[in-house]
Structure 1
Amino acid sequence: MKTISSPVRSEFHCLRVLTLTPDTDKSGARWLGTMLSAINVADVKSINSLSLIPSLLREGKVDVIVADVEHGGLMVPTLLKTLDAANPLARFPHVLWVGQPTLLNLLHGQAAAMLEKPAVARIGGLSVTALLAHARLAHRAGINVGMVYGGGNAAFAEALRALLLVPSIKRQAGCFAPPDGPTEADVIEALTTGKNLRVMLQPQYDLRTRRIIGAEALLRWNHPGVGEVPPSVLIPMVNRLGLHLLLFSFIETRVIDVLLVLKSRQVTLPIALNASAETVCTPGLAQRLAEKMQRAGVPPQLLKIELTGDLPVDDELLLSASLNTLRAKGFPVSLDDFGQGSSTLNLLARMTFDEVKIDGAFVRDMKTSASAQAVITATVNLARLMNLKVVAEGIEDASCIEALCQLGCPTGQGYALARPLELRDFFASVSNK
């Protein structure tokens, strides 16, 4: 077993990653090493057998297991479930599957690019459909499983990022931050003082004209000791500490400031602000927001509330009332990550929204999966029938932009269009339009 470390800090720096590849697959091991090095993961352990996983888990030193589906990867969720049944784990590590199509695309990039579908809808000899079904079963057991479809650094990083953002089930023992990561005291200090916190903006575009027509506010935390702390680490800690409303208030204040700057420059763009169900259901939230917008002289239509799925919906009747109260005050309401599990479809069927955002996983898969294309088409048609706006998230490949337009999706966001921008850069971008 060997350990690979890197002095460079990134959003993945605090992760403890365990890779599972056989000794006979040297190319696969080299590929994983290349990918993890490229995204600056600092703590990587490589093993060649499932039997070595239990001792590492008992030490609590694994956040993500990256495994080849042909060489033990399929059995990792089963092993985790078995270990947990015998002696409950403080938390389950995430599982990221990789397989042969990814390796072929990396090793034979130009040759693969000449094929009509370089990334076949199979990973490690298994159909993506079968793997997704297995991943859903794992999720029901509380284990989050993701897959890498592309062969480049961006595809690997985005697959890992998307996996880390999937809400985990609540565990009895609680999931504490890694020893070299932020502490709960650090989170409390940051949110109460605002120190080292900032808001960035992810532009949203009209996909046909490539014109910026809005943005999503994203929180960033530059911890003095840890560096950039990703939302996948921060948000679960905030929720566990019950500080979701404090977090919302911090971002909300910054977004109103942004809207005031845009107003001074005679630019009218809506800004979206993420909120969990628990935040949305806070008594008096809609009234307080309406009063702040009125004092600022900014119409409420410019502050969009995106309902996230990071906390469960405990009271659907209360959530419906709260969402409708926001809409009555003039705030548009969006359903984030639509298609991520059946819960989003249930919410759309039972409650009223102004917009749905197609989960980025479908956008990333649309070039290689007919099912993903079908889901996007169905979502667009459903949105049209329900008179909803629709936004595609996670657009990483420029070729997907035209494909989304052809499927009827008019608006999108993602790295292929623009990465999240610092406020000064966002103001410069919209001022130049």
Structure 2
Amino acid sequence: MSRSIGLAHIIRHDDGTSSGVWGIYTLQSAFQPIFAFGQGKLSIVAFEGLIRPFRDGEPQSPMSFFNTCPAGDRLHIEALTRTLHLLNAGACLPEEASIFINFDPSVFTDRAIADNALRDMRLVLHEAGIDPRRMVCEVTEQKSASQETLYSFVEALRANGFRIAVDDYGADESDINRIKELKPDIVKFDAHWITQLMESGAGFALLTTMVKSFEEQGIRTVFEGLEEGWQLELAEKSGASMVQGFVLARPELASTSLRVFGKGVEAPSAVTGSSDAPASSGAAPAPRPARVFGRRNAS
């Protein structure tokens, strides 16, 4: 999809936000904060862009939307959702926050397609007033048509100056050797997998060892999908760099009110035992007292 066609599917609103139109669907951006640990506090350092489809004004599941899209349209829809997130990020997010954007490597079947898409994306970044260094490109290992395609796509991302995150690490066929080949800046651990590991002492020890190994290689780690306080505490104890999940903040539709999530916004770290609620309008109550290794081994 060329930039002009992509923008033809974008509707600009008076409040500075944008929405997209694809067939019978209206598409909106939602952003979920990502928090970093530091000095007993959790501070928002990034947001992940997530698509929210609506049909006749009623919300639809993203999976059902993408499943109704013909395979031949996926590249165009990728470009539209990416453009939408970037325009909304430029209008709504604090300027110091990183922006995580999902990419489906399977639609970039050759280097020329990837280069054209990324050239257009840099133009959108310029229009949105976003420094390309804020971009973190999330790629899911399992979605790639082949390892060669994945490596070529990641090389194209890196050549354009973007940071790389491998998403859903630990799920299904994840391969540590692929991480060695891709050399990402960030690894996002699969939520279900890390929860399973947290449920036993041996599993938590393995998780901690993996986090330490990545950190020693200069690879930052994100535990995503955290929903309970005990998971948050163990994430901090494991040495994970960042955390994301409903226990801290739910995704919110793009709004200029998101700008309040700046450098000064912090939440108590789980280990501190503070009863203060995390600083987010979508935040859950403060984590309850955590267990040593998850739900099976109460202290």
- Give the TM-score of the pair, scaled to structure 1: 0.50
194, 197, 216: which one aligns with 2:27: 197
Counterpart of 1:340 (choices 163, 168, 171) is: 171
The residue type equivalent to 1:355 in the other structure is: I
- Aligned CA distance change for structure 1 residues 367 and 388 (closer, same or farther; 3 Å): closer
Which residue, out of 242, 250, 268, partners 2:72? 242
Greater RCO (Cα-Cα under 8 Å, separation 6 or more): 2
More strand by share: 2
User: Equivalent residue for 1:138?
Assistant: none
Alpha-carbon displacement from aligned partner over 1:12-47 (angstroms, at most 9, x marks no partner): xxxxxxxxxxxxxxxxxxxxxxxxxxxxxxxxxxxx
Secondary structure of the residue aligned to 2:252 is coil
> Counterparts of 1:202 and 1:334 in 2: how far apart (Å)?
16
Q: Deviations over 1:165-211 (max 9, x none)?
A: xxxxxxxxxxxxxxxxxxxxxxxxx8535842111011100134221
Task: Give the corresponding residue for 2:145.
Answer: 314
SS at match of 2:226: coil
1:301-342 CA-partner distances (Å, limit 9, x unpaired):
11211112563x333223212211211211111100000023
Q: Kindly tell me: are residues 290 and 194 of structure 1, through their superposed partners in 2, closer, same or farther at Cα, counting changes over 3 Å? A: farther
Partner of 1:270: 98
* Structure 2 counterpart SS, 1:257: helix
Cα distance in 1 for partners of 2:142, 2:50 equals 15
Q: How many residues align?
A: 239
1:96 aligns to what? none
Distance in 1 between residues matched to 2:24 and 2:163, nearest whole Å: 27
2:81 alignment partner, one of 229, 251, 261: 251
State the superposition RMSD in angstroms: 2.6
Map 1:224-239 to 2 at 5 A: 224=56, 227-238=58-69
Q: Which position in structure 2 is the counterpart of 1:324?
A: 155
1:407 aligns with 2:238: yes
Q: Is the 8 A contact 2:167 2:187 kept in 1?
A: yes
Change in 2 beyond 3 A, CA 1:261/1:422: same
Sort the Cα spacing of 1:385 and 1:428 in 2 relative to 1 into closer, same or farther, 3 A: closer
User: How far apart, CA to CA, are the structure 1 residues paired with 2:134 and 2:190?
Assistant: 23
Structure 2: how far apart are the matches of 1:329 and 1:379?
Answer: 29
Structure 2 unaligned segments of length 5 or more: list them: 1-19, 266-299
Deviation of 1:285 (Å): 2.1
Point out where structure 1 has 5 or more consecutive residues left out of the alignment. 1-189
How much does 1:280 deviate? 4.4
Shift of 1:367: 4.3
Quote how far apart the aligned CAs of 1:423 are.
Answer: 1.8
CA separation in 2, counterparts of 1:314 and 1:368?
Answer: 33
Structure 2 residue 90 is the aligned partner of structure 1 residue 260: yes
